[in-house]
Structure 1
Amino acid sequence: MNQKLNIQFPKSITLYIKREDLIHPIVSGNKFRKLKYNLLQAKGENKTTLVTFGGAFSNHIAAVAFAGKENGFKTIGIIRGEELKSKVSENPTLQFALDCGMQLDFISRESYQQKSESAFLSQLNEKFDNFYLIPEGGTNELAIKGCEEILTLEDQKFDYICCSVGTGGTLSGIINSIKPHQKALGFPALKGTFLKDEIRNFVCNENWDLNTDYHFGGYGKVTSELISFINNFYNENKIPLDPIYTGKMVYGVVDLINKKYFPEYSKILLIHTGGLQGIQGMNLKLKTKKLLTIQFHD
């Protein structure tokens, strides 16, 4: 569903948001898209277990835990940070995954950095039986195939398709499915430009770009300005935004509109990639620091 936004900006700009957050109550947004064909592949290979990776407030960990439970898989999450093992009850995301039956395997941050190396993967094969491995964030070719289904015929009227970027899978799927007259614009939640090379491994055209100016300090970092924007956006549009991904992207697009980055009469579509489960954990962090929290009230 595409929803027109109630935001004050030049009337020559058309701005809509695609509510991918509504496609599933738990496995919402891009996680639904990324897992669709991976789950089918795991079933086709007669795998009994899903193994994946994530951090303290990972949308991906929560989604795999629930999807695995619903589809009859045992699930194992390799979690970044051994210090989190004693804090599961204080972490809404990890507690949710545990409640879904996911086995949580906590490893050091140093070991986590080696998760793609052959020696680490060999250890997984020795440790776990008959498993299907899903990368961190869920990005692989099957995930991108799922994300290529985000856009519909109705969306061909838009000039710009904008989405947040974590591992690059969602944007890659969008890039592969847009039409020649369209441009995809990604807003990374992480610092740096390294994602461009990752995305180039999966895409087939060049009508896209990344804007790296709206990460608000890096992955998982937020400011009171961003939280205020998210709260005001909800008050005006009744659409919740997560502070890690979509909130930053929407802030960036609105700021670019006000700075006249987009040509007159541009039609812009924002992709809401879900991630709302992480708000509870973020609010807990903000409360401990006595900072402004995310408030969704009618």
Structure 2
Amino acid sequence: MTKDLENDSQVPSFYIVRDDLIHPLVNGNKARKLDALLPFLEDHSVTDVVTCGGCQSAHAAAVAVSCAERGLRSHLLLRGEQPDVLTGYNLISTMYGNVTYVPRSLYADREEMLIRHAGLVAGSSGLVVSLNDMLEAPWIKQKGGRKVAIVNEGAGDSLALLGMIRLLCYLSENHLFGKERTVKFVVDAGTGTTAVGLGLGAICLGLPWEVTAVMLADSIEQYRKRELQLIFDFRRHFGFNLVHCSNRMDNGVVTWVERHQPRKFGNVIDRELEVCQQIAQQTGILVDPIYTLAAWELATSLSEKEERGGANVVMLHTGGMLGMFGLAQRYKSHFRTLKDQSNG
């Protein structure tokens, strides 16, 4: 964990949880969610994992690497067409997993797509299970063949929330933030699972912490709907001892906010790469224009408001830096500007 500090001590600053550094390829919130998912799959004798994501999905690559490290087979359904040159997370997914490119029209129905492909992997003698299947009927036995587990896009499952709660258990230890300090947690939101996990963790652990998430991929209505579904599933599977905090859960566990400059998901606005470059040169911390720059902007804004004895502002760095290679292919003109500046 580091603190963003300028030479001028009067400049507002915030803490950064450097989850981007915990593994060379599997880092950020991807590693935290899989920290809960994969041991569970191993305990249930799963042989294959099927999941999905975009062409440069950090989640898909994380699943591929983590499965390979554990002797599991991964099957990755990536949206769109195979690029001419594999790079970034697309390259990592291909090196570690079994990649299939899916037309956008078929990808639109993710649930059906995942079930159909998992059935092909399992074959006539195998078994296809979802995480909910295993949580609700852990006695499912496999008579032979493959046992294929489906993991939702972005690991958007209630089980993954436990990985985020484990992170808060660590951060609330006395030598870090402790349990008494007021903390405003900031995170970028793709599926929103990470933010919900942090919010639930703060409530379950009785921490005076608030979680604010920058919406990147959907409307506030869809994020709130997903939040309620994750909370419902969490309480159903793990909430037998959470009666004491039901009221706080009912009121929502995350504050969802728009990005400073809203745009269609995946788009990069002029000069954002230059901002990322400036941050890297001044702090030694790399952020990307799609995800972590959004959290950085919000953390900066909140730290300015909290500078006079207010709460500690903490940004969770969700990693994903290899995605910059994919952006360089897609936004060549933006990256050419960086090249021109360095030559100048």
Same fold (TM over 0.5): yes
Shift of 1:242: 2.3
Equivalent residues in 2 for 1:44-193, closer than 5 Å: 44-81=43-80, 84-85=81-82, 87=83, 89-100=85-96, 102-117=97-112, 120-129=113-122, 130-151=147-168, 152-153=171-172, 154-155=176-177, 156=179, 157-178=181-202, 179-193=206-220
Give the conservation status (yes or no) of the 8 Å contact 2:187–2:214: yes
Structure 1 residues 38-91: Cα deviation after superposition (integer angstroms, max 9, x where no partner):
11122122111111001111101111111111111111101111xx23x25344
Supply the AA of the counterpart residue of 2:93. A
Shift of 1:256: 5.0
Supply the AA of the counterpart residue of 1:39. L
Give the conservation status (yes or no) of the 8 Å contact 1:191–1:215: no
CA RMSD, 1 decimal:
2.6
1:222 counterpart = 2:218? no
Quick one: structure 1 residues 290 and 20, their matched pair in 2 at CA, closer, same or farther if it must change by over 3 Å?
closer
Greater displacement, 171-180 / 160-169: 171-180
Quick one: structure 1 residues 268 and 60, their matched pair in 2 at CA, closer, same or farther if it must change by over 3 Å?
same
Instruction: Determine helix, strand or coil for the equivalent of 1:21.
Output: helix
Supply the AA of the counterpart residue of 2:193. G
Higher Cα radius of gyration: 2
Shift of 1:257: 4.7
Partner of 1:202: 230
Shift of 1:122: 4.4
5+ residue gaps, structure 1, are: none
Instruction: Determine helix, strand or coil for the equivalent of 1:210.
Output: strand
1:19 counterpart = 2:12? no
1:285 counterpart = 2:313? no
Shift of 1:285: 2.1
Separation of aligned partners in 2, 1:242 and 1:171: 19
Greater displacement, 6-15 / 45-54: 6-15
Partner of 1:265: 309
Percent identical across equivalent pairs?
Answer: 22
Give the conservation status (yes or no) of the 8 Å contact 1:286–1:292: no
Supply the AA of the counterpart residue of 2:69. E
Supply the AA of the counterpart residue of 1:189. L
Greater displacement, 183-192 / 268-277: 183-192
Structure 1 residues 82-120: Cα deviation after superposition (integer angstroms, max 9, x where no partner):
xx23x25344322221111x1111221121111124xx4
Shift of 1:198: 0.7
Partner of 2:142: none
5+ residue gaps, structure 2, are: 123-146, 232-245
Give the conservation status (yes or no) of the 8 Å contact 2:114–2:150: no
Separation of aligned partners in 2, 1:122 and 1:290: 39
Instruction: Determine helix, strand or coil for the equivalent of 2:111.
Output: coil
Using structure 1 for the length normalisation, give the TM-score.
Answer: 0.86
Partner of 2:295: 249
Separation of aligned partners in 2, 1:208 and 1:66: 30
Give the conservation status (yes or no) of the 8 Å contact 2:215–2:256: yes
Separation of aligned partners in 1, 2:29 and 2:186: 13
Shift of 1:224: 2.7
Separation of aligned partners in 2, 1:66 and 1:284: 23
Structure 1 residues 155-202: Cα deviation after superposition (integer angstroms, max 9, x where no partner):
343420111111111111110122453211001222421212211223
Greater displacement, 231-240 / 283-292: 283-292
Separation of aligned partners in 2, 1:139 and 1:254: 28
Partner of 1:38: 37
Greater displacement, 242-251 / 210-219: 210-219
Shift of 1:265: 2.4
Shift of 1:227: 1.5
Separation of aligned partners in 1, 2:325 and 2:17: 23
Instruction: Determine helix, strand or coil for the equivalent of 1:89.
Output: coil
1:275 counterpart = 2:302? no
Instruction: Determine helix, strand or coil for the equivalent of 1:149.
Output: helix
